[in-house]
Structure 1
């Protein structure tokens, strides 16, 4: 027999947050991991990493804790059952009430700095410790303080250093894990207000650990496969071989639902263990605790397998308990266990080219032929309960189109600085007439409500017309003056046919978050900013950019636009048939997010270029004001949309003056 050289293996299963009961799906994953750990330990130096501390800071946990303190006060959770705590969690998730980051910060700080755990989750972990003991599972430190090796900011810095991060917090956006260079979609890992998700926590935990191991095994729910593909790619860059082991959920009555929705009463770990213990102790085959432990493994591993097609069945579980009792009796009748070399050989056959032992192959063998004989205390899943060696490891687009709303005419007569309702309505109506003159006589543009209905008809309630096009802009870093300059350059570069089609589509533009430098090898952009901060795809039917939009995410910058000092921007290009001119570009900031400001300014600039109001060499002075009222300037073009305070009225969000 040839056994592979002993290697260092890290088992890193997905962590179940202590907010709800352990369900059949959870038990399946935990038993799968336990058998893999125990079966691999005789062949390799195995570390089982399972830190609740790392993931307590996720919103589903700290949000639950804040909910409990807000709604339950000084409740004594010490006597509650896991079902009762689970019912509270279901109530929390059904509340659907946004929780501000500032409200959750004290809870995150308490976890990060002191290892604090809310009494409700502490109670749940105590109950789980009892379940682990009854099942004979290795306790990887359920109630221990096991902080991750990296802080959040240090993790982000390491990812940024190797070009795997898109951080848009500077403009009020989120932080993305950026693997688009490998054809993998952007994944948000930190919200704009600093809340990390599960994937960010996994990176904090695993990035500093994996360089010390030869093989890293990630066990997880199949529903998380896309995230674990990303995690696999990041960790593999750090050196080890990374194996992904997706494990299917267990349907209940034919349905697979998240524990947050309930429906687990009668199927929790405690309830199943009580029923199984009664069956194992009182059934005709007997067997007691050992039969319970082995039978649970035979059912959740060998019977259900890695998929998720079979619903939970009490009768099959009872049958597995009976099989386990018969196997244990046969093992006792056959006498002493085989030697260590025979055991290693038996385990090695279930590795299939990887270091870890496959629990499913091992479980099926146990169910068919009986458990390997052993001198250890209790056979578990066909594998002796041994103490693994504890040596220090050493290395051997979504599509997101923001509808073009009501915007500037092309070009209207210069309105007075007093922006009356009539002036705003005329500006918005003239824009529709300019873009689609053939429809103007058939449309009601006489009021704000009528105009809104027209807009909704164009961008919501109708099918996509054959000649409708959209442009795409990918934003990596946002510097608004530079973005204004490059937007003008992009619009000026368009061919006449593209200009006409875009205008008829109301200069519709999709704004995506992404790093152009990581995308240029896969996509041909029509214009790229000189510093790679942004890139544009020319107006085209949606199918032309579908792949790009599926790969990336919508650009999000929810901060209110800051009122910056006035700044001059010179439009790129050599002046042509007219001399360069100077205009002021006013931008409203009050109650206007950065994302919305880009939409408004983009429409204004694009249509001003298409109408000849902006040309190469022109100088634009950006001026930021709360609202475009009382400016004392003549305006050549306006961007008009629904008022942020009064939805039945219009507001000017950007304005381009006549020559100054």
Structure 2
């Protein structure tokens, strides 16, 4: 009986096409090629080397925005790697930090249309020639290789609802009274940004970070204290509709609970999923959870059962708290988005 071949993923970080290949770059590329050729003798190797993924980094997007701003309509077809590298040095020397709004059109064009700036495309064509002369395996330097997961799908995968609910409650329980009261008066306003907290902890401080690093909270604080973070990241806009799920239990845990103020209780958390998107769910359920914590309806040790229903109007269970807001599809009408039941 033939032995089943293993499957191996080889996914080196790409070199951004904004400068010449240096000896250290070449060393890395040669090692990756050796690893690929050696491993494929006994395993099925997927060599994932996607420039499409890394084109969306600030380093590349900022450079492209700089080129179009200072050299609009320029022809890059005859430039060498060194020529492009000198332009990149000029970009960094300028010291201009482009706003997220300036970079967004480039990021969207990359993701939706496979856009590559002419300067980047020129460098990649030169590199493809280097690969051919050196006899290296070309993993698709000139190919459009979008991520298998889109941004929304990735965030949905990271933000498993029970985990997100538990961490939201943990954060709200950690907010000191002197900050909780102004937050409540501001209707527990919360802004959801799309980013990966583990990549930001060196530059920004967070008040609470989930154990798996998928989500973090900064605040509640005056908006000017988070201005730099909001300039860096985009507001999360999840347009996919929320699927239903089977009921799931979870326990609320405070980061530092001390002595329990009351005995733990069990409640159901109902979420209406009909015609609601992921971003709408985050906003509406967040309000309900945070305000329930501040009102003492949710505390350390409580057990919540998360239930999805199409519409809350069809439920007859007694609710201790409801989240009601304008219906996104019929703004002149109100809708119940989520509800927390009385003790079970």
Relative to the length of structure 2, the TM-score reads 0.60
Q: Give the 3 Å change call, closer, same or farther, for CA 524–630 of structure 1 in structure 2.
A: same
Q: Give the 3 Å change call, closer, same or farther, for CA 212–488 of structure 1 in structure 2.
A: farther
- 2:43 maps to what in 1? none
CA distance in 1, matches of 2:213, 2:125: 31
String of CA shifts for 1:364-410, please: whole Å, max 9, x gaps: xxxxxxxxxxxxxxxxxxxxxxxxxxx94799xxxxxxxxxxxxxxx
Match 2:175 to one of 494, 498, 513: 494
Give yes or no for the alignment of 1:507 onto 2:191. Answer: no
CA distance in 2, matches of 1:491, 1:196: 41
String of CA shifts for 1:512-560, please: whole Å, max 9, x gaps: 0011111001111000000000000121111111111111111121100
CA distance in 1, matches of 2:99, 2:230: 9
Task: Please tell me whether the aligned partners of residues 8 and 46 of structure 1 are also in contact (alpha carbons under 8 angstroms).
Answer: no
Q: Give the 3 Å change call, closer, same or farther, for CA 528–46 of structure 1 in structure 2.
A: closer
Give yes or no for the alignment of 1:198 onto 2:115. Answer: yes
Match 1:546 to one of 227, 237, 255: 227
Q: Give the 3 Å change call, closer, same or farther, for CA 484–211 of structure 1 in structure 2.
A: farther
Task: Please tell me whether the aligned partners of residues 190 and 197 of structure 1 are also in contact (alpha carbons under 8 angstroms).
Answer: no
Q: Give the 3 Å change call, closer, same or farther, for CA 561–203 of structure 1 in structure 2.
A: farther
Relative to the length of structure 1, the TM-score reads 0.33
Give yes or no for the alignment of 1:650 onto 2:331. Answer: no
CA distance in 2, matches of 1:495, 1:602: 18
Give yes or no for the alignment of 1:565 onto 2:246. Answer: yes
Structure 1 residue 630: Cα displacement:
2.3
Match 1:526 to one of 201, 207, 230: 207
Structure 1 residue 632: Cα displacement:
2.0
Give yes or no for the alignment of 1:597 onto 2:281. Answer: yes
Give yes or no for the alignment of 1:536 onto 2:217. Answer: yes
Task: Please tell me whether the aligned partners of residues 476 and 534 of structure 1 are also in contact (alpha carbons under 8 angstroms).
Answer: no
Q: Give the 3 Å change call, closer, same or farther, for CA 566–204 of structure 1 in structure 2.
A: farther
| Local SS of the residue matching 1:198 | coil
CA distance in 2, matches of 1:484, 1:200: 41
Q: Give the 3 Å change call, closer, same or farther, for CA 619–544 of structure 1 in structure 2.
A: same
Unmatched segments (≥5 aa) in structure 2: 1-19, 23-70, 85-96, 137-154
Give yes or no for the alignment of 1:640 onto 2:324. Answer: yes
Unmatched segments (≥5 aa) in structure 1: 1-6, 10-23, 48-182, 215-390, 396-473
Give yes or no for the alignment of 1:622 onto 2:306. Answer: yes
CA distance in 2, matches of 1:45, 1:212: 15
| Greater C-alpha Rg | 1
| Local SS of the residue matching 2:158 | coil
| Local SS of the residue matching 1:540 | coil
Q: CA RMSD in A?
A: 3.8
| Local SS of the residue matching 1:538 | coil
CA distance in 1, matches of 2:195, 2:169: 20
